[in-house]
């Protein structure tokens, strides 16, 4: 059986805590911080592990924070392939104001890659892709990465007969689409930028997504609509799936959890409707937990059962 690779160019250590009340100019007493590995593809790998699927997290890693990131992944028993970089791995900071249940997320900029590092990443991904059935490229693209980087990843995927799943934005995504992607997960804003169309309702959203699909560039486009649900479009099908109503505590990792759920559905040969429902179940379940906890498998099972009734 072939394997799943996840690729993260902007990994992070997510440090989260809470305070009773956030007040400017005051010394705030925080709860003991929690440290968790983060970043698009890394979170997809963590979520897949909870669903019972093994993957290998390929990511950049630099400095002492990069070593800590590797230790955190090892603690979660996530197979990993760190690629050493010059700049230290970033750290993000999340604080919950308990008085109002508001969450404040401080995202640090991803460190830029320096000369030669991009080529090293491509070389190592190419070597590992020979054993991959899926390559999941998720998360932001840091400075120093060429605009055609994801297009090169797409070519590698095609050469090795691997299915490429992409969840990112910007020019790198546009060029990757021209090479062909198996599954693309934009939100409405990203779809608007990709097509230049207004996507304010389901009809216009489907029309915009179908433009991408009909070019033969993407097999499946799943447009994330946040708490409303998602719209899935292929050449022959279109289906809107509403999200369940849940008590939202944090949105950290919800999109990555949704990607993991859809990859799980693809690997297990689900039809389009069930692929999207599994993705929504995972994404919604992730919002039910505090901080960067991702989802509980029991919540996913319950929500998926509700969505498939």
Instruction: Taking the CA atoms of 156, 57, 189 and 270 in sequence, report the sign of the dihedral they define.
Output: positive
- 236 an active-site residue? no
For residue 248 the two structure tokens come to: 């939202």
Q: Which residues of 25-51 are buried (b: 16+ CB within 10 A; e: fewer)?
A: eeeeeeeeeebbbbbbbbbbbbbbbbb
CA of 35: how far to CAs of 16, 42, 210, 218, in Å? 7, 14, 41, 36
DSSP H/E element including 65: helix 63-75
Q: Give me the helices (H) in 78-130, please.
A: 117-129
Q: Which of 201, 256, 271, 301 is catalytic?
A: 256
Do residues 165 and 183 lie in contact, with contact meaning Cβ atoms separated by under 8 Å?
yes
For residue 296 the two structure tokens come to: 């509980």
Catalytic positions, written as ranges? 256
């Amino acid at each position: 059986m072939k394997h799943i690779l996840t690729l993260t160019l902007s990994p992070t250590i997510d440090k989260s805590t809470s305070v009773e009340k956030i007040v400017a100019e005051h010394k705030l007493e925080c709860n003991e911080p929690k440290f968790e590995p983060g970043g698009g593809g890394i979170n997809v790998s963590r979520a897949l592990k909870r669903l019972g699927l093994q993957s290998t997290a390929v990511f950049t890693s630099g400095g002492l924070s990069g070593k800590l990131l590797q230790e955190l992944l090892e603690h979660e028993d996530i197979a990993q392939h760190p690629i050493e970089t010059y700049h230290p791995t970033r750290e993000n900071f999340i604080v919950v104001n308990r008085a109002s249940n508001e969450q404040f997320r401080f995202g640090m900029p991803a460190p830029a890659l320096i000369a030669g590092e991009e080529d090293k990443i491509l070389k190592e991904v190419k070597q590992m892709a020979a054993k991959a059935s899926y390559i999941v490229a998720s998360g932001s693209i840091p400075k120093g990465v060429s605009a055609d980087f994801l297009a090169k990843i797409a070519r590698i995927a095609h050469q090795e007969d691997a299915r490429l799943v992409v969840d990112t934005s910007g020019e790198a995504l546009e060029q990757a689409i021209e090479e062909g992607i198996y599954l693309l997960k934009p939100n409405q804003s990203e779809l608007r930028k990709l097509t230049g169309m207004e996507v304010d309702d389901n009809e216009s959203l489907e029309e915009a997504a179908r433009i991408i699909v009909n070019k033969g560039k993407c097999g499946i486009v799943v447009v994330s609509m946040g708490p409303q649900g998602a719209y899935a479009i292929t050449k022959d099908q279109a289906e809107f799936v509403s999200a369940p109503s849940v008590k939202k505590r944090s949105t950290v990792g919800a999109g990555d959890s949704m990607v993991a759920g859809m990859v799980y559905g693809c690997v297990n040969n689900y039809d389009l409707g069930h692929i999207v429902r599994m993705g929504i179940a995972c994404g919604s379940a992730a919002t039910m937990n505090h901080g960067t906890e991702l989802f509980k498998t029991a919540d996913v099972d319950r929500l998926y059962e509700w969505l498939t009734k």
